[in-house]
Amino acid sequence: MSTQRVIINFVLFQLAWLAFVIGAANQLPWLGFIVGVSLVSVQLIFVPHPARELLLVLTTCGIGAVFDQLLLNHGVVQYQAHGWSIGLVPVWIIGLWIAFASTLNVSMRWLRNYRWAAVLLGAMGGPLAYAAAQKLGAVTLTITPSSHIVLGVGWAVLMPLMIHLSKKFDGYAHV
C-alpha cells in the first residue's frame, strides 16, 4: 500500500467525519451520508477485490449501527438530525460507519500487527470522537462521565474486532 494512498484515505475520512458531524449539527443528516457513500464508492473503484471490501463495509456498518443503537436505547447518547425516526440510530451515523470502514484496510491497516494499539486507539479515540461531535453540536453525551467509560470500553472491543474483520475481508489482498 503506497504512503500516498494511506494519507489520502486518512485525510478524506477526516473531511467526511466533519461533513457528518457538521451536517448533523445543522439538521442536514443526509449530507454526511452522501459524502460517506461517495467516498466508499470511489474507493471501491480502485480496490482489486471490491466485493470483499464491500462485505467489510457492510459488516462494519451493521456492527457499528447496532453499537450506536444500543447507546441510544440506553440513554448514553442523544443524536441530532436523525433523518428518520428519533428511536433509530441516525442516517448520518450509519454513513459515518460506512466511511470508517473505508479506513480499515488502508490508513488503519498498520493496526493489524498491533492488537494492543487497536485496543488503546479504540479506548481513547472513540470517546474523543464523540466528545468532539458533542462540542460541534451533533450529539449529547447524557450520562457523563459514565458515557465516556461506556464509549471507551465499547470502542476498545470494537476496534480490534473491526481490524480482525479487515483481515478477513481485505479487498486489497492477493487472493
Q: At what angle do helices 91-104 and 3-25 cross, to 10 degrees?
A: 170
Q: Rounded to whole angstroms, how far apart are CA atoms 167 and 170?
A: 5
Rounded to an integer, the average pLDDT of 89-96 is: 92
Q: 174: pLDDT confidence band, cut at 50, 70 and 90?
A: low
pLDDT number for residue 87: 86
Per the listing, cell 498491533 goes with: 114
pLDDT tens column, 23-76:
999 998 888 778 878 888 888 888 999 999 999 999 999 999 999 999 999 999
Mean pLDDT of 83-91: 86
Mean pLDDT in the chain?
Answer: 92
Rounded to whole angstroms, how far apart are CA atoms 126 and 46?
Answer: 28
Tens of pLDDT along 132-161? 999 999 999 998 788 999 999 999 999 999
| Alpha carbons 156 and 140: distance in angstroms, whole number | 21
CB atoms within 10 A of CB 84: 10
Q: In percent, how much of the chain has pLDDT > 90?
A: 74
Residue 115: the pLDDT is 94
Amino acid of residue 34: I
pLDDT at 19: 92
pLDDT at residue number 175: 54
pLDDT at 38: 86
